[in-house]
């Protein structure tokens, strides 16, 4: 059922390169542009997941300038291919990306909330996804708080971030990629979620927090957005800015770890970041009902399809 709140503006972060899935994911054809879980690419699946919002506010894809034609082609293949695109010349970190998204949304709506979504994850239960966002928004729409989403850990994974939460959705701590002993303790405690990198923020509040806690990132994003090349209503190319490597950080480090005005919500769904061969193999085994041969054949097919997509991309880019 479509989400009712008209103030939510979805932004899809599609600037990664998926290096851990080499050789099927490459800088020229990152995994978000590949069909890993359906006939559509992960980016297209993510856009489709925002249909609960798109009837009111089309989503915006933020990706590399290098992948402009790929993004345009894949958006155009969708039945409701009316998504906007913001292009970055470099990867400046998710704190910078969130700031740009907030500035973009506020141009349209002074009461905007931004829903920041990774472009390359698998979320099985779309209804649960929509219902959880609706519940979180309803509880916090009059508060300038920050909302993060997670899923219940299924095994002691050391490659994911964790959110420690209390019974009232409060966030007690963040941990990035713990060692195996901590991961086992987190799993046993029942108080932790895997951090999905999926966020819902008041656009005004997150800009205020960035200006306070990460002023260099805030100023760089403001300059980049102010002097962006607005090719059309649906295509914006950001101005290149000088942002040092140590300032190219995540929104978690820039803001979320420094504020108490934050809540966490659990998505009741199967999820995978499909970020490594291990996680991709787990997904394939799960969706092959444990049939090893079927899972192997699916992986081989993915490898073949990725090469087909890579070949076609040479004619697109």
Give dist(CA 200, CA 84) in Å, integer.
Answer: 19
Task: Tell whether 266 is covered by a domain.
Answer: yes
Torsion sign, CA atoms 298, 304, 307, 313: negative
Preceding omega of 23 cis (within 30 degrees of 0)? yes
We report the CATH number of the domain holding residue 69 as: 3.90.550.10
CB contact at 8 A, 149 and 285: no
Domain, as residue range, for 52? 8-272
Does residue 37 lie in a domain region? yes
Q: So what's the pLDDT on residue 287?
A: 59
| Per-residue pLDDT, 270 | 85
What lies within 8 Å, CB to CB, of 140 at 6+ separation is 147, 200, 263
Q: Does residue 19 fall inside a structural domain?
A: yes
Rounded to an integer, what distance in angstroms lies between the CA atom of residue 160 and that of residue 219?
30
Which pTM value belongs to this model?
A: 0.87
The encoded tokens of residue 277 equal: 């061969």
On the CB side of 1, how many CA atoms lie within 13 Å of its CA? 6
**283 is a domain residue:** no
Decide if 316 is inside a domain. no
* 47 part of a folded domain: yes
**Considering the domain boundaries, does residue 22 fall inside one?**
yes
Tokens 């095994």 found at? 155
Residues 257-302: tens digit of each pLDDT = 888 889 999 999 888 777 677 777 676 666 555 556 655 666 666 6
| Residue 298 placed within a domain | no
Query: Total structural domains in the chain?
Result: 1
For the chain, which residues score pLDDT lower than 50?
Answer: 1, 54-55
């Amino acid at each position: 059922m479509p989400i009712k709140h008209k103030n939510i503006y979805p932004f899809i972060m599609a600037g990664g390169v998926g290096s851990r899935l080499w050789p099927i994911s490459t800088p020229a054809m990152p995994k978000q542009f590949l069909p890993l879980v359906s006939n559509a690419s992960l980016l297209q699946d993510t856009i489709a997941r925002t249909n609960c919002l798109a009837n009111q506010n089309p989503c915006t894809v933020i990706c590399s300038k290098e992948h402009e034609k790929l993004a345009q082609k894949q958006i155009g293949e969708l039945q409701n291919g009316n998504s906007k695109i913001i292009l970055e010349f470099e990867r400046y970190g998710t704190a910078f990306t969130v700031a740009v998204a907030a500035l973009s949304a506020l141009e349209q709506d002074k009461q905007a909330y931004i829903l920041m979504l990774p472009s390359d994850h698998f979320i099985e239960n779309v209804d649960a996804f929509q219902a959880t966002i609706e519940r979180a928004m309803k509880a916090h729409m009059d508060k300038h708080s920050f909302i993060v989403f997670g899923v219940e850990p299924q095994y002691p994974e050391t490659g994911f971030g964790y959110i420690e939460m209390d019974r009232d959705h409060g966030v007690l701590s963040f941990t990035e990629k713990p060692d195996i002993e901590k991961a086992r303790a987190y799993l046993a405690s029942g108080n932790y979620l895997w951090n999905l990198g999926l966020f819902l923020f008041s656009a005004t509040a997150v800009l205020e927090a960035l200006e306070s806690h990460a002023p260099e990132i805030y100023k760089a994003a403001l300059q980049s957005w102010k002097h962006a090349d607005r090719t059309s209503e649906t295509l914006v190319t950001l101005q290149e800015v000088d942002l040092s490597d140590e300032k190219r950080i995540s929104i978690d480090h820039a803001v979320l770890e420094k504020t108490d005005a934050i809540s966490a919500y659990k998505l009741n769904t199967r999820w995978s970041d499909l970020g490594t061969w291990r996680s991709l193999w787990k997904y394939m085994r799960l969706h092959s009902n444990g049939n090893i041969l079927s899972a192997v054949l699916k992986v081989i097919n993915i490898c073949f399809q990725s090469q087909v997509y890579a070949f076609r991309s040479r004619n697109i880019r």
